[in-house]
Chain A
Amino acid sequence: MTNELADAWGAMHPAHCKNCHAAFLVPPQAGAPNCPNCFAARLEPMPALQADAPPELVIPFSVSDATLNANLERWLREIPFKPASLNLRALQKNLVRVFLPMYLADARAYGTWTSQMGFDYLVASSEERFDGTNWVTQRLNETRVRWEPRAGELTRAYENLPAPASEAHARWMIALGAADWREPPFDSLRALAFAPDTLGNAIVQAPDLAPNAAWQFARAQLERRAARECETAANAQHHEKFELRAAYGEPRWTLLLLPTYVTSYSDDGGKWIPVRVNGQSGFVNGIKRASMQRAHSWSIALGAAALGAFLLAALLGVAGALYDAFLPALFVLGVTFLLCLAAPVPLLLAWQFNRQQAAK
Chain B
Amino acid sequence: MSETLSPIPPDYVRVESKLEGITVYAPAPPAEQIPDARDFKCPNCGATTAYSPRAASVTCANCGSIYTLQSENVGRQAAEFEFTLDAVKHAQTATPQQLRGWGVTRRDLRCENCGATVSVAPTELATTCPFCGSNRVAARTAAPDAFRPRVLIPFQIEREACVQLARAWLARGWFYPSDLVHAARGAQFTGIYLPFWTFSARVHSAWRAQVGREKREQYFDMGEMKFKTRTRLEWNWEQGKISLPFNDELQSGTRRIDASLLKRLAPYHLHALVTYDPGFLAGWRAQSYEIGLNEAWDAARGNMREIARAACLEQIDSRHIRNFSMNAAFDDEAWRFILLPAYLATYRFAGKTHQIAINGQTGQVAGEKPVAWLKVWLAVGALTLPGILLASAAALLGALRFQTGGWFVLGLILFVVGAALAAALLHRATRAQDA
B residues 6-53 touching A (CB-CB < 8 Å): 6-9, 12, 15-19, 21-27
Chain B positions near chain A (C-beta within 8 angstroms): 1-9, 12, 15-19, 21-27, 82-85, 88, 301-302, 305, 309, 323-331, 333
A209 to B352, CA, bound (A): 99
- Say whether A352 faces chain B, with CB atoms less than 8 Å apart: no
- Beyond A124-B83, A148-B26, A152-B23, 19 additional pairs, beta carbon < 8 A: A124-B84, A124-B85, A124-B88, A125-B83, A128-B329, A129-B325, A129-B326, A135-B305, A144-B82, A152-B25, A155-B21, A233-B17, A233-B19, A234-B18, A234-B24, A245-B3, A247-B1, A247-B2, A249-B1
Instruction: Number of A interface residues at 8 Å Cβ cutoff, please give it.
Output: 41
Report whether B26 and A112 are in contact in the complex, using a CB–CB cutoff of 8 Å. no
A residues 230-250 touching B (CB-CB < 8 Å): 230, 232-235, 245-250
Report whether B85 and A122 are in contact in the complex, using a CB–CB cutoff of 8 Å. yes
Report whether B27 and A149 are in contact in the complex, using a CB–CB cutoff of 8 Å. yes
Among B16, B17, B24, B330, chain A packs the most CB atoms within 10 A around the CB of B24
Report whether A151 and B5 are in contact in the complex, using a CB–CB cutoff of 8 Å. no
A147 to B101, CA, bound (A): 38
- Give me 16 A-to-B residue pairs in the complex whose CB atoms sit less than 8 angstroms apart, sorted by A's number: A111-B5, A122-B85, A123-B333, A124-B84, A124-B85, A128-B328, A128-B330, A130-B328, A150-B24, A151-B24, A151-B25, A156-B21, A156-B22, A234-B17, A234-B24, A247-B5
9 interchain residue pairs of minimum CB distance: A247-B2, A233-B19, A233-B22, A248-B1, A156-B21, A233-B17, A128-B328, A124-B83, A152-B24
- Say whether A159 faces chain B, with CB atoms less than 8 Å apart: no
- Say whether A154 faces chain B, with CB atoms less than 8 Å apart: yes
Report whether B7 and A112 are in contact in the complex, using a CB–CB cutoff of 8 Å. yes
Report whether B18 and A233 are in contact in the complex, using a CB–CB cutoff of 8 Å. yes
A180 to B5, CA, bound (A): 30
A125 to B327, CA, bound (A): 14
Cβ contacts under 8 Å, B329 to chain A: 127-128
Among A114, A124, A232, chain B packs the most CB atoms within 10 A around the CB of A124
Chain A positions near chain B (C-beta within 8 angstroms): 111-112, 114, 121-132, 135, 141, 144, 148-156, 215, 229-230, 232-235, 245-251
A248 to B23, CA, bound (A): 18
A126 to B16, CA, bound (A): 34
A23 to B328, CA, bound (A): 68
Cβ contacts under 8 Å, A232 to chain B: 18-19
Given contacts A122-B84, A246-B3, A247-B2, contact A235 B18 (CB under 8 A): yes
Cβ contacts under 8 Å, B324 to chain A: 130, 132
Given contacts A152-B24, A245-B4, contact A123 B325 (CB under 8 A): no
Given contacts A127-B329, A247-B5, contact A132 B18 (CB under 8 A): no
Report whether B323 and A132 are in contact in the complex, using a CB–CB cutoff of 8 Å. yes
A147 to B270, CA, bound (A): 29
Report whether A151 and B8 are in contact in the complex, using a CB–CB cutoff of 8 Å. yes
Q: Which single member of B6, B88, B302, B331 contacts A112 (CB below 8 Å)?
A: B6
Cβ contacts under 8 Å, A153 to chain B: 8, 22-23
Cβ contacts under 8 Å, B327 to chain A: 127-130
Q: Which single member of A126, A150, A246, A251 contacts B5 (CB below 8 Å)?
A: A246
Cβ contacts under 8 Å, A112 to chain B: 5-8
Nearest CB of B to A33, in Å: 40
Nearest CB of A to B2, in Å: 4
Given contacts A126-B330, A127-B330, A130-B326, contact A248 B2 (CB under 8 A): yes
A151 to B22, CA, bound (A): 10
Q: Which single member of B22, B25, B325 contacts A130 (CB below 8 Å)?
A: B325
Cβ contacts under 8 Å, B21 to chain A: 154-156
* CB closest chain-A residue, reference B302: A135
* CB closest chain-A residue, reference B207: A130
Nearest CB of B to A40, in Å: 38
A168 to B3, CA, bound (A): 30
Q: Which single member of A135, A141, A144, A148 contacts B27 (CB below 8 Å)?
A: A148
Q: Which single member of B16, B83, B328 contacts A123 (CB below 8 Å)?
A: B83
A124 to B84, CA, bound (A): 6
Report whether A123 and B84 are in contact in the complex, using a CB–CB cutoff of 8 Å. yes
Report whether A125 and B23 are in contact in the complex, using a CB–CB cutoff of 8 Å. no
Report whether A132 and B9 are in contact in the complex, using a CB–CB cutoff of 8 Å. no
A245 to B26, CA, bound (A): 18
Cβ contacts under 8 Å, B25 to chain A: 150-152
Report whether B26 and A150 are in contact in the complex, using a CB–CB cutoff of 8 Å. yes
A246 to B12, CA, bound (A): 20
Cβ contacts under 8 Å, B83 to chain A: 123-125
* CB closest chain-A residue, reference B88: A124
Cβ contacts under 8 Å, B26 to chain A: 148-150
* CB closest chain-B residue, reference A230: B22
A126 to B305, CA, bound (A): 11
Nearest CB of A to B398, in Å: 57
Report whether A123 and B22 are in contact in the complex, using a CB–CB cutoff of 8 Å. no
Cβ contacts under 8 Å, A127 to chain B: 327-330
Nearest CB of B to A175, in Å: 32
Nearest CB of A to B303, in Å: 12
Report whether A229 and B331 are in contact in the complex, using a CB–CB cutoff of 8 Å. no
A270 to B15, CA, bound (A): 66
Report whether B19 and A229 are in contact in the complex, using a CB–CB cutoff of 8 Å. yes
Cβ contacts under 8 Å, B1 to chain A: 215, 247-251
Nearest CB of B to A109, in Å: 9
Cβ contacts under 8 Å, B9 to chain A: 151
Nearest CB of B to A150, in Å: 6
Cβ contacts under 8 Å, A123 to chain B: 82-85, 333
A152 to B333, CA, bound (A): 34
Cβ contacts under 8 Å, A235 to chain B: 16, 18
Report whether B18 and A245 are in contact in the complex, using a CB–CB cutoff of 8 Å. no
Nearest CB of A to B205, in Å: 9
Cβ contacts under 8 Å, B82 to chain A: 123, 144
Cβ contacts under 8 Å, B3 to chain A: 111, 245-247
Q: Which single member of B22, B85, B88, B305 contacts A128 (CB below 8 Å)?
A: B305
Report whether B330 and A233 are in contact in the complex, using a CB–CB cutoff of 8 Å. no
A215 to B84, CA, bound (A): 45
A229 to B2, CA, bound (A): 20
A130 to B23, CA, bound (A): 52
Given contacts A130-B305, A151-B12, contact A125 B330 (CB under 8 A): yes
Nearest CB of B to A300, in Å: 56
Cβ contacts under 8 Å, A150 to chain B: 24-26
Cβ contacts under 8 Å, A248 to chain B: 1-2
Cβ contacts under 8 Å, A132 to chain B: 323-325
